[in-house]
Amino acid sequence: MFHKEGFFIIVFTFLFTAGIAIGSDYFISIEWLKLAIQIIALGFLIIVLQFFRNPKRNTTINPDHIIAPVDGKVVVIEEVFEKEYFKDQRLMVSIFMSPINVHVTRYAMSGKVLFSKYHPGKYLVAWHPKASEENERTSIVLENKTFGAILYRQIAGALARRIVNYAQEGQEVVQGTDAGFIKFGSRVDLYLPIGTKINVELNQVVKGGIDIVASK
């Protein structure tokens, strides 16, 4: 199963690969060169399909849990000052996505969207300390009765060139459902209330829509 955001890229890449395969077979007589070109083209198609895969996840909806919004590795767990929306101290959990991870963003909890804003920006590597403030990004605030308001931020990395965000202010969303997509990698930061119990550790690999990041 593939994400809808990859439809046109997948179709274009498939046609491009087919064209390369047919063209090389017609125009190139050197067998090893023809085979090499066809293998490279097929490899490129496989990479694109890998980027846009969208595996089905059976999320157990629980209002007392914050689940991982994306697949990746936990690279930061620390108390920080969140200055865009809350303007106070928050617990930040950052999950870094490599190019081979699933790139779908899922809602970390059910609730109401209070805030949703896109910021154009740079494309520093996703682990750069200033990436969360200077890179292209979206900031989304969700609220429910258990945790109050939390913020998650989709951050573009050095390879990512488009962030897709489906959250709209006033919308009621369901934990684990599709919240967007970050094309070709980067990271997602979660900003949670101080005192929230964190259920993950640094360098832990998490699966979006499944693993519990925090709980009451």
Active-site residues, by number, are 186
As beta bridge partners, residue 152 has: 140, 190
150: closest CA among 78, 82, 70?
82
| Cβ atoms 153, 96 nearer than 8 A | no
| Closest-CA residue to 188 (of 95, 115, 104) | 95
Burial of 121 (0-12, 13-18, 19+ CB in 10 A): middle
Strands 65-67 and 212-215, how do they pair? Answer: antiparallel
DSSP letter at 196 equals P
Distance linking the first and last C-alpha atoms of the chain:
34
Structure tokens, 158 = 């050095």
